[in-house]
Amino acid sequence: MRAVGRTGGRAVGTGVLLAAVLTAGPPVRLTAQDSSAVDRGVRIGIVYRPGVRPGMVVLPVHAPALDSARIILSRDLDYSDRFELITLPGGDSIRVTTTASGARPPAAGAGRTGGGGAAAATTLNYPLYQALGADFAVAVAPASGDTTIVTVHDVAAGGVRRELRARLPALKDPGFRLAIHQLADRVLEAALGVGGTAATRVLFVMDGKVYSIDQDGADQKLVSSSDHQAMSPAWATDGRRFSYMEFWEGHGRLFVQEVASGKRAPVATTGQALDFTPAFSPDGKTLAFSRATEEGTDLYTVNIKDGCCLQRLTVGRFYDNLSPTYSPDGQRIAFVSTRAGLPQIYVMAADGTDQQLFAPFDYGATGSSNAPEWSPDGQTVAFHRDVGGTLQVFVLDVRTRAVRQLTSVGRNEDPTWAPDSRHMAFVSDRSGYRQLWIIDVETGRIRPLLQKSGARLPAWSPRLPETASSTP
C-alpha cells in the first residue's frame, strides 16, 4: 500500500511507504514556462520588456543608523517584481534636492499624514528623477524619538504620494527585520495599491527539522523540536500559527504552534496512526490531514478550536487519498488520489461529497501528479507532475480546468504560493543540487531563496501580523 504527497519521498513507519509514484508523461508546453539556465535575478522563458514596470529609486540615507533599513527596504521592493529599481549614478554625490522655488508643487490630492512629507515634496529634485526614468522615489529619514518616516514620492506628479511613520525596534531586536518588511509592503500599497509579500516567511524541511526563513532569504530559524523528525509544515491563514507532523514511536502526530511564543500543542485525535500533510481551513477552526493505516490512506478533518469531532472525508480501501488543500472560501478541498491508478489531482466539497477529477490527464500517457496547493486568490491550483521521468511544476486554472506547465529546467516540485498569488516557492535541482527557489509567474524572474542543499516541502506564509515578530 502506498501513500503519496508532500512527503519528499521518505520511507516512514508502520509499513507505509510515503513516496511519489512517478511515471513518464508528455509535457504541456506553454509560453509561461522557464526554458534556460538561470542565475540570481535573471528573467527566464517569458518575454520580458524592460520599462513596462514603473521605475523606483530608494534615496540615500543620511542617518547611518537607518542604512540597514534602507538596504532591506530596497531588496524587498526589488523582489516584489513590481518596479524597475534605479541605482543613482555616482551614489549619493548627485544633487538629489532642489530649492523650494525650483520644485514642483505637490500633486493635488497627494496623501500626507504629517508635515515632513510636505517639506520633502518641495525639496526633492523631481526633474532629475524623471530624467533617470523614475516614477516613484522613496526616502527614509529619522524623526523624533524612535520614529522613522518613509516618504513615497510620486515623481511623475511631482508630489508626495504618502508619508508613512513607524517605530522601528533596535537593529539587533528580533522584530527589526519584520518591521522593515511591513514598511516595504506599505510602500508598495501606497505606490501601486497592491499587497506585498515582504512581511512573509517560508517554512521548509531540512535534515528532518522544520525551519523558517524570511522571503528575502535571511534570518533562518529552527522552529520544530530538535529531538523528533518532522515534516509537512503548513500555515494558518492568520499567520499566527502553523502546523506540522512529528514522528513519535512509529506514528505521525500533528502539532499546532504559535509563531510569536513558540508554544505548541498536539492536535487532538492524532498520533495513534500515521497522520501527516495538515491543512488549515480558511477560518482556522478545522485542520484537514491525511491518515495512513494498513488499510489505506484517507483524508480526515478535526475541529482544532474545540479539540474534537474527527470526521472522515474519503474511504479509499484499495487506493490512497491525501495532501488536502482548501479553497480560499473554504467550500472545496483539492487533494491527491490514486483511484485512477497513478496519483492525480481531485476535488471535493469540504464535507467530503462530490468527489471528482480536478486536473485533467491522459490515461497511460500523463505522469503522476502530487502536492496541490490552492492559490490565495482562488483562481489556480499549483502542483507537480511527472514529465518524461522528471518532475515539473504545473498550474491548473480553476475556472476552465486548463493545465499549463510552468517549469522545464531540472527537477521541480512542491510548489507553494505567496499571498499575492503571483510568486511561488518550489524545490529544484536546476543548479545541481536541491534547493529552494522563488519564481514570479508573471515575468518569469527566478531567484534562489535558500542556497543550502537538502531543503524541501516549502510552505509560504500569509502576510504576517506585527505580533509574529518574536522568535518562535
Give me the percent of the chain exceeding a pLDDT of 70: 81
Residue pLDDT, tens place only, 25-41: 333 323 344 433 333 34
Q: Report strand pairing: 147-154 vs 201-206.
A: unpaired
User: Picking from 111-125, 214-228, 335-349, which range would have the lowest pLDDT averaged per residue?
Assistant: 111-125
Mean pLDDT of 41-53: 46
Q: What's the rounded Cα separation, in Å, for the pair 59 and 309?
A: 56
Closest CA to 78 of 151, 171, 166, 187: 187
Confidence of residue 123 (pLDDT cuts 50, 70, 90): confident
Residue 13's pLDDT is what?
A: 33
Tens of pLDDT, residue by residue over 321-364, are 999 999 999 999 999 999 989 999 999 999 999 999 999 988 76
Q: How far apart are CA 445 and CA 441, in angstroms?
A: 8
Is residue 161 predicted with pLDDT exceeding 50?
yes
Query: Of the given ranges (42-46, 68-72, 416-420), which has the lowest mean pLDDT?
Result: 42-46
With 90 as the cut, is the pLDDT of residue 302 above it? yes
pTM: 0.85
The whole-number average pLDDT for the span 91-96 is 47
Average pLDDT value for residue range 353-382: 93
Homologous superfamily (CATH) for 2-42+197-469: TolB, C-terminal domain (2.120.10.30)
CATH tag for 55-192 (out of 3.90.190.20, 2.60.120.260, 3.40.50.10070, 3.90.79.10):
3.40.50.10070
For the chain, the domains span 2-42+197-469, 55-192
Mean pLDDT of the chain: 84
Q: Taking residues 36-64, what's their average pLDDT?
A: 61
Q: What is the layout of strands, in order, in the sheet containing 446-450?
A: 412-417, 423-428, 435-440, 446-450
Q: State the pLDDT confidence band at 467, using cuts at 50, 70 and 90.
A: low
Would you state the pLDDT for residue 416?
98
Distance (Å, whole) CA 235 – CA 171: 27
Name the band, by pLDDT with cuts 50, 70 and 90, for residue 183.
very high
Instruction: Confirm whether 2-42+197-469 and 55-192 share one CATH topology.
Output: no
